[in-house]
Amino acid sequence: MSAWIDIIVESVIKSIVVILFLLAGFGYITLWERQILGRLQTRYGPIRVGPLGLFQPLADGLKLLLKEQISPRNVKLGIYLSAPALSLFVALMAFAIIPVGPPIYLFGKWRDLALANVNIGLLYLLAILSLGVYGIVLGAWSSANRYSLLGGLRSGAQMISYELALGLALLAVVLLAGTLSPMGIVEAQHRPGMTWFVFLQPIGFFLLVVGGFAETNRAPFDLVEAEQELIGGYFTEYGGMRWGLFMMAEYMNMMTVSALVATLFLGGWVGIGTGIIWNVTTAPWRQLIGVAWFLLKMGLFIFFYIWVRATLPRIRYDQLMEFGWKILLPLAVVNLLLTALFVSLS
């Protein structure tokens, strides 16, 4: 019984830590993005609220909470209200299998720095990410707004176009690592004779990056929002904290994709040239250094997200579909075949 209690308590504590981390990350990534965009566009970002603008996320959250909630006529009220919560729930669930560091020895037991260390982690992740589109489509359809509906339909078509290439890119990584476990994939990159998978799988890395931008509806693939065309797209009829939940889901998905890139292609929590040396004799501070390396890689990719938004224009919808079906999918198939040939001959 005590073992079960320990597992339950550990899971609850990990869940609380992950949720707080994602919520804090959402708030301060929005601040970071606005300040970086300001510098890249020769203007100031938020600097007024608190020292260096650090209290701006708190002010934004308070504004959303106090803003009047208006439900338009003719909406399917139950689905309209539950769609933002569904998007947020999926975003929180997706981060559960990401290992942010090596196992750490606490309270007489080695504990994984992941909410759930499962052998089929990537399969779980693909299943959860595929559910993210439901919140967008249901919110768009239930809003009784044609612009919202167009945004939701775009999201469904975009997901189908990029999910196939994304899945094949992840499958190539699985062939190299020999496991579906994210923690096992990190360790596989530091076996003798191996290196970070970004060097062995540059095509797979490119596919994951492009697919990640499309999955999170970020520029230049933010066609489900497309303010110039759809006046906001799927969340046109949402305001206040209901709109805020959609934004939370988007930024949490950014964090998940950035963490996934760091885990699958950039060596996870292991720093440059340090090797995989975590074992029972490792001092606890070494594990904390591993967490710092992971957060650094994750932060650099989030910066790349912001940089791309400030640099590239939105592409047309026909260009997006053509790029997904005629370029990314054949490229993913060729990459998978070459990876299978490499693994079979090595």
Cα 318 to chain centroid distance, Å, stands at 25
Q: What are the pLDDT tens digits along the chain (346 aa)?
A: 577 787 788 888 899 999 999 999 999 999 999 999 999 988 988 988 989 889 999 999 999 999 888 888 888 989 999 999 999 999 999 899 999 988 887 777 778 888 888 888 899 988 888 888 899 999 999 998 888 888 888 888 888 888 889 999 999 999 999 999 999 999 898 887 788 999 999 999 999 999 889 888 888 888 888 777 877 888 889 988 999 999 999 999 999 999 999 999 998 888 765 444 444 345 566 677 888 889 999 999 999 999 999 898 888 888 888 998 999 999 999 999 999 998 998 7
Structural contact between residues 336 and 173, judged by C-beta atoms closer than 8 angstroms: no
**Enclosing H/E stretch for 105:** strand 104-106
DSSP state of 272: T
Residue 220 exposure: Cα atoms within 13 Å on the Cβ side: 13
- pTM given for the model: 0.91
| Domains in the chain: boundaries | 76-345
Of the candidates 216, 210, 215, the residue with the CA atom closest to the CA atom of residue 332: 210
